[in-house]
């Protein structure tokens, strides 16, 4: 009889490999991206294209230099996902070099310099976002108002033109595009609310602006809900655990609610915080990045909750309108500590303390 | 912390169960093999019966090569509680008792009895335990032991040990879960032999007197559930429970947790939480042993996998080589790109390196998968810390941390993360998206930690031995010094008080003592000698000593010659001494002695203990000096003797 193949048990594996996990996350992003495109134009798709391409190329170059199996590593879709998440986070009409610098920084510095997939301590997309935000604050905060509010209508060609030249085909700059029908520069709801509050207006007064529809910024609510649905699908498919999204949103809502109770006229409501900005997107797609988040379920509850608290604190008192990136990266640093103190009780061990001690 | 008996009974009455952490849901593939009745695998040409097929120690051999044995005849006998005997599973001749490849992942060879089967299957006389429920428990336990029963679910723990329990048992749990994919041996056994299993349970029930018997069957085996329910319906304290299909629900710890919410302590046994568990196959074997008196010589083995033409279950004689069964099932290895035979299930079984491996008491399945049926994983990628493994772990370990610390050889920390609690069920590796063979790494880490422990103990013992020896030597040295000091003092006193005659005596005694010490020094010298010159002087010494001895002997011989002439002649012949003259010989010997002594003196002078040898020499030369007469012949003879002595000494030295 021919030689028998010898292997170590288990001999049985489920079919979900890393690539499949990453692809599922990518698919779950699609509703949100579609909504973003609907409200903010084709710029979103151009950024996605640029970021993903740059991320994959950067990954391939570094892996070649490191003499790793490039094809196999690129096929795991982790670079694609990192690029995609960054693209979703940056303003749709940012110049092309923002995307290129950001995506290459995310992959080369944040991911590969730390050892590649599985070894990076920080979330690549968010760290790159922070780098961009600090280095290029003007470009990174130049969010267009939803298409329905802009004075200038623009096409896919306009969007491409703007991203690569800084001007639409007709020669309008991004700054001009941001001017609303009333001639006032449009800001994101969070940005606007922050500015209004610092200028002494109350929340209710701020909400009278055109960019709001009821309590939420126009366009932002549908986007948040689309990401929420995608995220719930990921939980349902057991790609992510519920712990981080749940606790992160809970952390943000509880913190916001406490401030809201203190003074509803100077602090925005929990609902406002939930539906505006990238809280939902961050909760389901950013903070759940397996590599840089906590690995125990109890740890994830702490990790997520702390991110939620930080988001509200930074949104309220920080210099930047949104805070998901800062909060996530802050908590990334705490992950080893959280993991160490949240080991689950092993079967047959009485107390956590005992299981820690010498057996 | 855990539910008490009444709470558990209440909960079970509502058909509710607890759950264990984690778990996975691999496809069962049970339909491949559970559609046919258990067939008889027949007799192979040879049976290979390993002497040890359980956890514990070997039993003692009671057959020899050449013996004819009958089916069921014991081949080994147990005198140790941890030993389980093995039996001939068919009649024939013992043709070898040697090493044969064993049913072990490593493909190691183990002591095995080979029987050439005669095909008659002549039965040994069995001795059932009649009316067991009137007998003493010890008698039943002994019968179980003699029947060679060890746990048939997998681990192979000696059943008599488990049954010889004195602690109170609340739940006797009969494990018919069979959670591993593909395996249907217990399923078929329950469907076809529920009554006999029930009889076995009755025996255990009598032995252990549990408050409740729980028979657990996974809900993917409705037929088995039904037959067992019918078989057990007359017994009030028996309850057949359908449990949800989830791997590894059939694990002892997991099943106990599911049924009772209790957790077996990490360093304890199920009996510590009032539970005892037996596999249904074990119950069947117990019934055989007690009611029929039959020892364990056969078991049900599932032959399955898509590489087999006819997957099904077989009654297999223990010791049947896998080859025989593969032939029966229509296995064609040439059709397989990667021929693989897995003994056990796909989750915890091990691949065989040879088809000569025999079926043993714990073998429940032989799985021959096609290439893509169970994909061979060689594409290990980086861990992305997704902790799908932690979610799958049935005992709430953190497999990725264990992986990290195991591969980085940080074994201390790995143990802090409870590496040794891992039951190696394979759930973590099953779900790992990076296809990391986690269990494999844990096994390596465990083996290395065990090895380190053994080595540490060894070196610890060696250290203790060394220190003890050092202390002993020091003590001896001190004692010696003390003795010498006392002796010296005594001599001093004696010298001060006595005259010169006494002084001489003391001097002589001193010389003797010194000589003794010198002797000691020479015996100790070889240990310390390292350089070539030292070795040379050592040789000289030895040579001198030998010369001395020869001379002495020669003198003795010549003395003897004076009285007994014949003997003398003979002796001298053997000594190759040409001289026949007594007198001459005597003289020659004396001279030789003297010369030899001189030589000895010289050689020892070259070293250290000079005076001692002087003394010794002068003492020994006394009788020699009495012989004053010397002539030419004697001189020659002496020269010859000297030469001979020297030669002999040299030779001896060279030999050494």
Question: Does B398 sit within 8 Å of A10, measured CB to CB?
Answer: no
Question: Does B267 sit within 8 Å of A359, measured CB to CB?
Answer: yes
Closest CA of chain B from A131, distance in Å: 24
Q: How far is CA B273 from CA A314, B44, B172, B242, B243, in A?
A: 52, 44, 11, 22, 20
Q: A13 to chain B: nearest residue by CA?
A: B430
Question: Does B339 sit within 8 Å of A11, measured CB to CB?
Answer: no
pLDDT of residue B559: 59
* Cβ A76 vs Cβ A18: under 8 Å: yes
Helix, strand, coil content of chain A in percent (nearest 5): 60, 5, 35
Question: Does A4 sit within 8 Å of B352, measured CB to CB?
Answer: yes
For residue A76, which residues of chain B lie inside 8 Å, CB to CB? Answer: 381
Could you tell me if B473 lies within 8 Å of chain A, comparing CB atoms?
A: no
Please name the member of B267, B390, B437 whose beta carbon is closest to the beta carbon of A295. B390
Distance CA A68, CA A116 (A): 10
**Which H/E stretch holds residue B68?**
strand B68-69
At B87, the pLDDT band (50, 70, 90 cuts) reads: very high
Residue B494 has pLDDT above 60, yes or no: yes
Question: Does B400 sit within 8 Å of A16, measured CB to CB?
Answer: no
Pick the range with the lowest mean pLDDT from A65-74, B92-101, B139-148, B592-601.
Answer: B592-601
Q: What is the mean pLDDT of chain A?
A: 86
Residue B233 makes CB contacts below 8 A (sequence gap 6+) with none
Could you tell me if B19 lies within 8 Å of chain A, comparing CB atoms?
A: no
What is the ipTM, given to two decimal places?
0.86
Residue B69 has pLDDT above 60, yes or no: yes
pLDDT of residue A138: 84
Residue B462 has pLDDT above 60, yes or no: yes
- Compare A78 and B654 and report the one with higher pLDDT: A78
Could you tell me if B200 lies within 8 Å of chain A, comparing CB atoms?
A: no
- Compare A197 and B299 and report the one with higher pLDDT: B299
Residue B613 has pLDDT above 60, yes or no: no
Question: Does B434 sit within 8 Å of A17, measured CB to CB?
Answer: yes
Condensed to tens digits (0 to 9), the pLDDT of residues A325-347 reads 999 999 999 999 999 999 999 99
Q: How far is CA A319 from CA A206, A323, B377, in A?
A: 18, 10, 50
Question: Does B385 sit within 8 Å of A290, measured CB to CB?
Answer: yes
Picking from A98, A95, A209, the residue whose alpha carbon sits closest to that of residue A159 is: A95
Could you tell me if B22 lies within 8 Å of chain A, comparing CB atoms?
A: no
DSSP assignment of A99-164 equals HHHHHHIIIIIIIGGGTSTTT-SS-HHHHHHHHHHHH-HHHHT-PPPPGGGBSS---HHHHHHHHH
Question: Does A346 sit within 8 Å of B397, measured CB to CB?
Answer: yes
At B351, the pLDDT band (50, 70, 90 cuts) reads: very high
Q: What are phi and psi of B608, to 5 degrees?
A: -120, -60
* Cβ B236 vs Cβ B192: under 8 Å: no
For residue A344, which residues of chain B lie inside 8 Å, CB to CB? Answer: 21, 390, 396-398
Question: Does A347 sit within 8 Å of B395, measured CB to CB?
Answer: yes
Residue A162 has pLDDT above 90, yes or no: no
Question: Does B385 sit within 8 Å of A9, measured CB to CB?
Answer: no
Please name the member of B346, B384, B429 whose beta carbon is closest to the beta carbon of A18. B384
Closest CA of chain B from A113, distance in Å: 15
Picking from A214, A183, A131, A158, the residue whose alpha carbon sits closest to that of residue A42 is: A158
* Cβ A356 vs Cβ B416: under 8 Å: yes
pLDDT of residue B262: 92
Mean pLDDT of B379-389: 89
pLDDT of residue B552: 74
Q: Is the omega angle on the peptide bond into residue A261 within 30 degrees of 0, that is, cis?
A: no
At B642, the pLDDT band (50, 70, 90 cuts) reads: confident
pLDDT of residue A352: 43
How is the beta sheet containing B312-317 ordered, strand by strand? B39-40, B312-317, B298-304, B365-367, B342-343, B350-351
pLDDT of residue B499: 60
Structure tokens, B231: 């078989």
For residue A70, which residues of chain B lie inside 8 Å, CB to CB? Answer: none
Helix, strand, coil content of chain B in percent (nearest 5): 50, 15, 35
Question: Does B347 sit within 8 Å of A10, measured CB to CB?
Answer: yes
Structure tokens, B316: 């297999």
For residue A72, which residues of chain B lie inside 8 Å, CB to CB? Answer: 379, 381
- Compare B642 and B324 and report the one with higher pLDDT: B324
Residue B291 DSSP code: I
Could you tell me if B325 lies within 8 Å of chain A, comparing CB atoms?
A: no
Closest CA of chain B from A351, distance in Å: 11
Please name the member of B390, B400, B433 whose beta carbon is closest to the beta carbon of A21. B433
For residue A355, which residues of chain B lie inside 8 Å, CB to CB? Answer: 266, 418
Query: Which of B418, B419, B432 to substitute to test the interface with A, most A CBs within 10 Å?
Result: B418
Q: What is the mean pLDDT of chain B?
A: 84
Residue B582 has pLDDT above 80, yes or no: no
For residue A4, which residues of chain B lie inside 8 Å, CB to CB? Answer: 339-341, 351-355
Distance CA B465, CA A235 (A): 62
Q: 82-111 in B: which are within 8 Å (CB) of A?
A: 105, 107
Q: How many CB pairs under 8 A join A and B?
A: 178
Question: Does A12 sit within 8 Å of B26, measured CB to CB?
Answer: yes
For residue B333, which residues of chain A lie inside 8 Å, CB to CB? Answer: 1-2
Condensed to tens digits (0 to 9), the pLDDT of residues B357-371 reads 999 999 999 999 988
At B246, the pLDDT band (50, 70, 90 cuts) reads: very high
Q: Is the omega angle on the peptide bond into residue A10 within 30 degrees of 0, that is, cis?
A: yes
Residue A268 has pLDDT above 90, yes or no: no
Helix residue ranges per DSSP H, B417-531: 427-431, 438-497, 500-528
Distance CA A285, CA A27 (A): 11
Structure tokens, B467: 């220190």
Condensed to tens digits (0 to 9), the pLDDT of residues B619-630 reads 444 444 444 455
At B443, the pLDDT band (50, 70, 90 cuts) reads: very high
Could you tell me if B508 lies within 8 Å of chain A, comparing CB atoms?
A: no
- The pTM assigned to this predicted structure is 0.77
Question: Does A9 sit within 8 Å of B415, measured CB to CB?
Answer: no
* Cβ A308 vs Cβ A262: under 8 Å: no
At B104, the pLDDT band (50, 70, 90 cuts) reads: confident
Pick the range with the lowest mean pLDDT from A117-131, B155-169, B282-296, B535-549.
Answer: B535-549
CB count within 10 Å of CB A196 equals 18
Condensed to tens digits (0 to 9), the pLDDT of residues A192-211 reads 787 788 787 888 887 877 77
CB count within 10 Å of CB B228 equals 27
Residue A187 has pLDDT above 90, yes or no: no
Residue B391 has pLDDT above 60, yes or no: yes
Question: Does A78 sit within 8 Å of B439, measured CB to CB?
Answer: no
């Amino acid at each position: 009889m021919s030689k028998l193949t010898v292997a170590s048990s288990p001999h049985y594996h489920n079919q979900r490999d890393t690539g499949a996990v990453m692809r599922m996350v990518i698919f779950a992003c699609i509703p949100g991206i579609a909504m973003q495109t609907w409200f903010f134009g084709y710029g979103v798709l151009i950024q996605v294209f640029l970021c993903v391409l740059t991320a994959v190329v950067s990954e391939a170059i570094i892996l070649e230099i490191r003499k790793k199996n490039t094809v196999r590593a690129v096929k795991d879709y982790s670079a694609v996902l990192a690029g995609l998440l960054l693209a979703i986070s940056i303003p749709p009409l940012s110049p092309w070099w923002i995307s290129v610098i950001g995506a290459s920084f995310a992959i080369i510095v944040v991911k590969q310099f730390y050892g590649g997939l599985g070894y990076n301590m920080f979330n690549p997309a968010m760290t790159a976002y922070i780098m961009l935000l600090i280095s290029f604050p003007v470009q990174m905060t130049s969010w267009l108002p939803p298409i329905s509010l802009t004075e200038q209508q623009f096409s896919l060609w306009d969007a491409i033109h703007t991203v690569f030249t800084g001007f639409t085909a007709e020669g309008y700059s991004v700054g001009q595009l941001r001017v609303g029908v009333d001639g006032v520069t449009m800001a994101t709801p969070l940005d606007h609310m922050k500015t209004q509050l610092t200028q002494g207006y109350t929340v209710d007064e701020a909400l009278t602006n055109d960019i709001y529809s009821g309590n939420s910024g126009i366009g932002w609510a549908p986007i948040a809900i689309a990401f929420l649905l995608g995220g719930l699908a990921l939980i349902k498919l057991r790609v992510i655990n519920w712990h981080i999204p749940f606790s992160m949103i809970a952390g943000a809502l509880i913190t916001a609610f406490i401030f809201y109770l203190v003074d509803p006229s100077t602090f925005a409501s929990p609902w406002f915080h939930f539906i505006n900005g990238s809280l939902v997107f961050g909760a389901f797609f950013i903070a759940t990045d397996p590599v840089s988040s906590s690995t125990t379920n109890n740890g994830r509850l702490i990790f997520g909750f702390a991110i939620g608290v930080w988001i509200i604190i930074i949104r309220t008192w920080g210099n930047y309108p949104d805070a998901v990136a800062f909060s996530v990266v802050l908590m990334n640093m705490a992950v080893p500590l959280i993991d160490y103190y949240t080991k689950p009780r092993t079967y047959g061990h009485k107390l956590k303390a005992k299981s820690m001690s010498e057996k | 912390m855990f539910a008490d008996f009444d709470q558990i009974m209440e909960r079970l009455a509502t058909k509710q169960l607890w759950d264990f952490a984690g778990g996975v849901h691999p496809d069962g593939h049970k339909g491949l093999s559970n559609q046919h009745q258990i067939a008889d695998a027949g007799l192979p040409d040879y049976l290979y019966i390993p002497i040890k097929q359980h956890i514990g120690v070997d039993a003692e051999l009671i057959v020899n090569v050449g013996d004819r044995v009958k089916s069921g005849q014991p081949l080994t006998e147990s005198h140790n509680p941890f030993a389980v005997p093995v039996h001939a599973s068919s009649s024939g001749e013992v043709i070898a008792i040697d090493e044969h490849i064993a049913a072990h992942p490593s493909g190691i060879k183990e002591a095995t009895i080979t029987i050439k089967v005669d095909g008659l299957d002549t039965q040994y006389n069995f001795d059932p335990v009649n009316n067991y429920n009137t007998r003493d428990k010890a008698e039943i336990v002994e019968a179980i032991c003699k029947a060679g029963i060890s746990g048939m679910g997998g681990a192979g723990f000696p059943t008599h040990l488990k049954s010889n329990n004195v602690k109170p048992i609340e739940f006797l749990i009969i494990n018919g879960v069979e959670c591993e994919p593909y395996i249907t041996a217990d399923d078929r056994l329950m469907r076809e032999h529920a009554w006999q299993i029930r009889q076995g349970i009755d025996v255990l029930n009598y032995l252990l007197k549990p408050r409740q018997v729980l028979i657990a069957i996974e809900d993917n085996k409705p037929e088995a559930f039904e037959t067992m329910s019918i078989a057990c319906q007359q017994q009030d304290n028996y309850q057949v429970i359908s449990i949800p299909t989830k791997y590894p629900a059939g694990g002892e710890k997991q099943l106990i947790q599911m049924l009772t919410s209790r957790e077996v302590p990490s360093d304890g046994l199920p009996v510590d939480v009032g539970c005892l568990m037996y596999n249904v196959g074990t119950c069947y074997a117990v019934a055989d042993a007690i009611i029929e008196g039959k020892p364990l010589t056969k078991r049900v083995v599932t032959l399955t996998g898509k590489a087999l033409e006819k997957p099904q279950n077989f009654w297999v004689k223990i010791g049947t080589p896998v080859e025989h069964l593969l032939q029966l099932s229509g296995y064609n290895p040439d059709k397989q790109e990667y021929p693989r035979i897995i003994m056990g299930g796909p989750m915890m079984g091990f691949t065989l390196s040879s088809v000569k491996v025999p079926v043993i008491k714990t073998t429940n399945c032989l799985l021959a998968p096609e290439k893509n049926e169970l994909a061979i994983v060689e594409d290990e990628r980086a861990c992305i810390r997704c902790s799908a493994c932690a979610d799958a772990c049935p005992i709430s370990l953190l497999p990725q941390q264990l992986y990290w610390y195991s591969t980085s050889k940080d074994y201390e920390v790995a143990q802090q993360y409870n590496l040794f609690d891992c039951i190696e069920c394979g759930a973590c590796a099953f779900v790992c998206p990076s296809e990391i063979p986690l269990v494999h790494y844990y096994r390596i880490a465990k083996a290395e930690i065990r090895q380190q422990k053994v080595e540490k103990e060894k070196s610890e013992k060696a250290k203790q031995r060394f220190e003890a020896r050092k202390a002993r030597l020091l003590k001896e040295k001190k004692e010696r010094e003390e003795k010498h000091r006392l002796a010296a003092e005594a001599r001093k006193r004696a010298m001060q008080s006595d005259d010169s005659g006494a002084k001489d005596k003391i001097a002589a005694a001193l010389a003797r003592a010194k000589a003794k010490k010198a002797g000691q020094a020479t015996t100790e010298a070889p240990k310390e000698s390292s350089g070539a010159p030292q070795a040379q002087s050592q040789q000289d010494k030895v040579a001198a000593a030998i010369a001395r001895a020869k001379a002495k002997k020669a003198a003795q011989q010549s003395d003897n010659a004076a009285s007994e002439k014949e003997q003398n002649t003979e002796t001298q012949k053997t000594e190759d001494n040409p001289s026949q003259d007594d007198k001459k010989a005597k003289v020659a010997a004396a001279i030789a002695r003297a010369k030899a002594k001189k030589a000895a003196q010289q050689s020892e002078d070259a070293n250290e203990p000079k005076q001692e040898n002087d003394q010794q020499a002068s003492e020994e030369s006394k009788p020699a000096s009495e012989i004053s007469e010397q002539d030419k012949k004697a001189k020659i003879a002496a020269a010859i003797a000297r030469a001979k002595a020297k030669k002999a000494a040299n030779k001896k030295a060279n030999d050494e």
